[in-house]
Amino acid sequence: MLIDFFYTLRSAKLPVSVKEYLTLLEALKAGVIGPSVNDFYYLSRTTLVKDEAHFDKFDRAFGAYFKGVEMLTDFGQEIPLEWLRKVLEKELTPEQKAAIEKMGWDELMQTLKKRLEEQKERHEGGSKWIGTGGTSPFGHGGYNPQGVRIGGPGKNRSAVKVWDQRAYADYDDTKELGTRNIKVALRRLRRFAREGSELELDLDDTIHSTAANAGLLDIKMVPERHNKVKVLLLMDVGGTMDEHIHRVEELFSAARSEFKHLEFYYFHNCVYDFMWKNNRRRYTEKSATWDIIRKYNKDWRLIFVGDATMSPYEILQPGGSVEYNNEEPGAEWLQRLTHAFPKFAWINPEPQGVWQYRQSIAIVQQLVSQRMFPLTLQGLEGAMRLLSK
């Protein structure tokens, strides 16, 4: 079994050696871990992967080999995986979908609690119990206009909460810029970033002036242009943002190369009471949003990067986060951040043509005083022009 796992990692271009593979076998033989896929994941990653840069490749290879293994977060009690085993795919007509009523937030949470207390067995294709392939608001693999996705992959983007521990990869800040538009945008970023008044030697002009002065040294100076602008970059990661990874990585790489003073943090969907610097350690190494607000002064330009595509509950409702029960709504934290950093903008990689069809985008636009720009050349120019004032 593990020989195939070893070759799967090698096929994924991971530099895994036989020596490291034997170390893994020795650890298993010594009983270092129990019979847990989660424990095996960390043990195999520790013994086989020596460079954090390869963690993302390892995750993809591990997931491909052990496909179907889900890790559920603690939401009060465990749900048997058998309940969530997907057997069939139910296709509904538009008329059938329109006939399904959605619950309000309070009713949804109360009903889920009731189902957890009452349900004793697996269900498939129904409209009430926690299961798969049906129209129930609880489970996955079916259709409901508004529910809690429990286990399994997303499908219709209609879940208001997700009962599933998800791992996201950091954006790659070494991504090479591959499009002309981004390169042109970099020139706008340079104009925005560089300012200063101190003098530095103009070597070319000094040489020409010295030659014209019969060899007598004639030193020429020009203002030195320092990169003094300070940027606080907050980036949405995971979920619907997976569709925009390539473009956001290009923007992130450009920002890292252009801004000497750049700090960045990640959030998911909406900003709440904490953010993080590393997606692999986001549950253990959190940065309180209040601490971030206090750490950086008003001289910092604040740039949000996110598609603002989520359930409106995630912005307006306490406990509305898809991943945990936040005490305060995301709207409160967005207002605190924009008040703390008067020079701010929101960059949205979602095509501007669909903004009007997303209720959450309209809400975020209002919260950021309509300072939302598309991730296009024109949009970046507008955002940079606004931030440079």
Any bridge partners for residue 305, and if so which? 235, 347
pLDDT digit string (tens) for the chain, length 389 residues? 678 888 888 888 888 888 888 888 888 888 888 877 778 888 888 888 887 777 777 888 887 776 644 333 334 455 555 555 554 445 555 654 555 556 555 665 666 566 656 555 555 555 555 555 555 555 455 555 555 555 555 555 555 455 455 555 665 544 443 444 554 554 555 555 554 445 667 788 888 888 888 788 888 876 655 557 789 999 999 888 988 888 888 888 878 877 778 899 999 999 999 999 988 777 788 999 999 999 999 989 999 999 999 888 899 988 888 888 889 999 999 999 999 999 999 999 999 888 988 899 999 999 999 999 998 878 888 888 888 87
Spatial separation of the C-alpha atoms in residues 208 and 196, rounded to whole Å: 25
User: What is the domain partition of the chain in residue ranges?
Assistant: 2-65, 81-163, 180-195+229-387, 197-226
Angle 271-291-231 from CA coordinates, rounded to 5°: 70
pLDDT for res 301:
92
Q: What is the largest distance, in Å, between two alpha-carbon atoms of the chain? A: 98
pTM for the full predicted model: 0.54
Q: Which residues is 137 bridged to in the sheet?
A: none
- Looking at 3.40.50, 1.10.1200, 2.60.40, 2.70.98, the CATH number of the domain 180-195+229-387 comes to 3.40.50
The residues with which 170 forms a beta bridge, in sequence order, are none
Measured CA angle at 108 (ends 155, 85), to 5 deg: 45
Of 179, 75, 85, 65, nearest to 131 (Cα)? 85
**pLDDT, position 70:** 38
